[in-house]
A = this chain, B = another copy of it.
Amino acid sequence: MNVRSICLAVLFCSDRTGYDIRKISTEGIFSFFIEASYGSIYPALNKLEEEGLVTCRHEALEGKPARKIYSITDDGRAAFASELFLPHRQDIFRSEFLLIAIFSRLVGPDVISSAIHRQIEFSKQELDQISSCGDSDEDTCDGEWSQEMTDLDRQAAQWAQNYGLYCVQASIDYLNEHGGDLIEIARKGHVGFNKSSELQ
């Protein structure tokens, strides 16, 4: 998964500006694939245009800033599809929280406790984010995607959302049920390296 693919994926669903793509890839369901910044999206779109996988039309509506709206071409669709047919790679999961958890004894019960709360907060935010993506037409694969099929596409997107929701909820459940145990471990073993003075 790279910025290229995410651009094609978003454009597969409907025409977009670079700004849109960045927003969708950061806030929408597509944030499960990559989070791209402007610095990578704009150059990627230019390259994609050179290669004929997307086209671009300038739109200068009055009362709006000028924008460049990109559309995917047939070649682009084919290129994207052929990527999807390849066996997919394993999910990537990275957690700073778990690193702190492992070093519970070192950081002590207070730090662990606030880390757990922070982690639960993050998870709840994610829950909100996942449920809300798809609420507005802007965030989903609606738009120009062959009219009669949008309902099934929405169902697929919904399925993916539910998968995300289910996994995040599981993590919250574990944290709520067993967070206390970790704080207890930290309490029993805390032996110094007290950095409270350096906390800010």
**Which 9 pairs show the lowest CB-CB distances between chains A and B?**
A170-B170, A152-B189, A88-B96, A92-B94, A104-B156, A91-B95, A85-B195, A81-B193, A90-B122
Decide: A32 near B98, CB < 8 A? Known: A181-B159, A199-B85.
yes
Using CB atoms, name the residue of chain B closest to A156.
B104
- Does any Cβ of B come within 8 Å of A19's Cβ? no
- Does any Cβ of B come within 8 Å of A7's Cβ? no
Cα of A187 to Cα of B166 in the assembled complex, Å: 24
How many protomers of this protein does the assembly include? 2
Using CB atoms, name the residue of chain B closest to A77.
B193
Q: Is the CB of A166 within 8 A of B159?
A: no
User: Range of interface residues on chain A?
Assistant: 35 or more
Q: Is the CB of B88 within 8 A of A115?
A: yes
Interface residues of A (CB under 8 A from B): 1, 5, 9, 12, 29, 32-34, 77-78, 81-82, 84-85, 87-107, 111, 114-115, 118-119, 122, 126, 141, 146, 149, 152-153, 155-157, 159-160, 162-164, 166-167, 169-171, 173-175, 178, 181-182, 185-186, 188-189, 191, 193, 195, 198-199
Question: In the assembled complex, how far is the CB of residue A65 from the closest CB belonging to chain B, in whole angstroms?
Answer: 30
